[in-house]
Chain A
């Protein structure tokens, strides 16, 4: 298992950190990169060609809001011309019908449109912007185009009571896929965790509803879901294993093995301005760091599951155990699991005033959580 995987399968292209939304669980790092540091159209185009030559199949255009890049249509065309399958992960805010037509004409394969809820009030509160109504307009425009559509719902204790409405929204659109993604706790979500983490009862109820919708929509819409790590028995094989399947390029060109890798101290990242993707994949110290099993401690080191989950998530180990080489503390076998259990106990003992029933109580300024909103970089 120690040899370098021959090539990544997906390139996550964080085109910019600028975004019209301020979501309280944004997966961007707390230190956002500014517009003046962003890669040029030419460099991105070279990166797409190098990725395709390396064996990458898919490019995920994300951000921030990738549509904030004025050259987005040219970037789609360049990635497609290089031979990549092009996914656009977007809020839909800076979109109009003309832009959509140009993107599809340029070869866009798939749009993943994010929703922060099924109800306007919740969605606008979570995104910190008047965003929901525009997303509904985008859904209408999309019906005219032959492009795949996924609706992505990031779910948490404030909107778990809207799952059936979310599925109905997807059903009334041209979507062939729904993602119900429970928030994972990194970056901004880590900062807002106590207001987002669901109770065990909410989680169980949500999984039952999602499974029911999955069955009901079979053949029409594929329904996928991700459970929160904190409630899992074993950790996820984060990113399919460190440096095994994915490469992420930040707006300024750093090549990272995952979204949150820059929280790990003493890791330094190569930049695509200086190195080819092949050189980075094969030789970057950051990609090598947790690729083998040499770094593992007990219980991972001798665990039968080490080739299934690779010890879990390194960034989560750092955030919760203070040590990037520790067993992911969400693992039931981890020495640091009691830390996760204490976090869950606090959530499960506290009364939940919102998001449990079919109709939430009217918003009360006194019980409304104090959110740390993600700002916009310069």
Chain B
């Protein structure tokens, strides 16, 4: 199920940003996910303040050369993946 555009994602308990060999990672129970460029921009905004809609708008600005539709799809897909990993809570 794709996340609601008006919901505010934040990192779930036990999920936080870390660094390893100059590489940003999302640390979570028993695993770590490498973050690069867009994925880092997204996770940085999962702070319980930004709505999904605002995250999309921000990234469409940063990646203005990419088709806005594509940016939206990628973000929704990535948030759904993090949700499946149980790395996010969504505040309504």
Contact = CB atoms under 8 A, between A and B. Distances in A.
A176 B11 CA distance: 12
Interface in B33-92: 83-86
Given A57-B18, A110-B14, A150 B29 contact: yes
A301 interface: no
Contacts of A112: 29
Q: Please give me the 3 A-B residue pairs with the lowest Cβ-Cβ distance, nearest first.
A: A148-B14, A222-B86, A85-B27
A87 B16 CA distance: 13
A83 B1 CA distance: 35
A147 B84 CA distance: 18
Contact of B14 (A57, A109, A218, A219): A109
B13 A148 contact: yes
Contacts of A9: 32
Contacts of A58: 27, 30, 32
Interface of B: 1, 12-16, 18, 20-21, 25, 27-30, 32, 83-86
A176 B20 CA distance: 25
B27 A176 contact: no
B84 A57 contact: no
Interface in A139-197: 146-150, 174, 176-177
Q: Among B21, B30, B85, which residue has the most Cβ atoms of chain A within 10 A?
A: B30
Contacts of B32: 9, 57-58, 85
Given A57-B32, A109-B16, A177-B29, 5 more contacts: A9-B32, A57-B27, A110-B29, A112-B29, A148-B13
B1 to A, nearest CB: 7
A146 B16 CA distance: 12
A177 B13 CA distance: 11
Q: Among B27, B29, B32, B84, which residue has the most Cβ atoms of chain A within 10 A?
A: B29
A55 B14 contact: no
Contacts of A76: none
A56 to B, nearest CB: 9
A258 interface: no
Nearest to A85: B27
Nearest to B15: A148
19 contacts: A57-B25, A58-B27, A83-B18, A85-B16, A85-B18, A109-B14, A109-B16, A109-B27, A109-B29, A147-B14, A148-B12, A149-B13, A150-B29, A176-B13, A218-B84, A219-B86, A220-B86, A221-B86, A222-B86
B14 A222 contact: no
Interface residues of A, number: 23
Nearest to B1: A219
B27 to A, nearest CB: 4
Contacts of A57: 18, 20, 25, 27, 32
A369 B20 CA distance: 48
A112 B20 CA distance: 24
A57 B27 CA distance: 8
B12 A176 contact: yes
Contacts of B30: 58, 87, 110, 150, 177
Interface in A39-98: 55, 57-58, 83, 85, 87
Contacts of A174: 13
Given A58-B27, A222-B86, A146 B13 contact: yes
Contacts of B84: 218-219, 222
A222 to B, nearest CB: 4
Nearest to B3: A219
Contacts of A85: 16, 18, 27, 32
A83 B21 CA distance: 13
Contacts of A218: 84
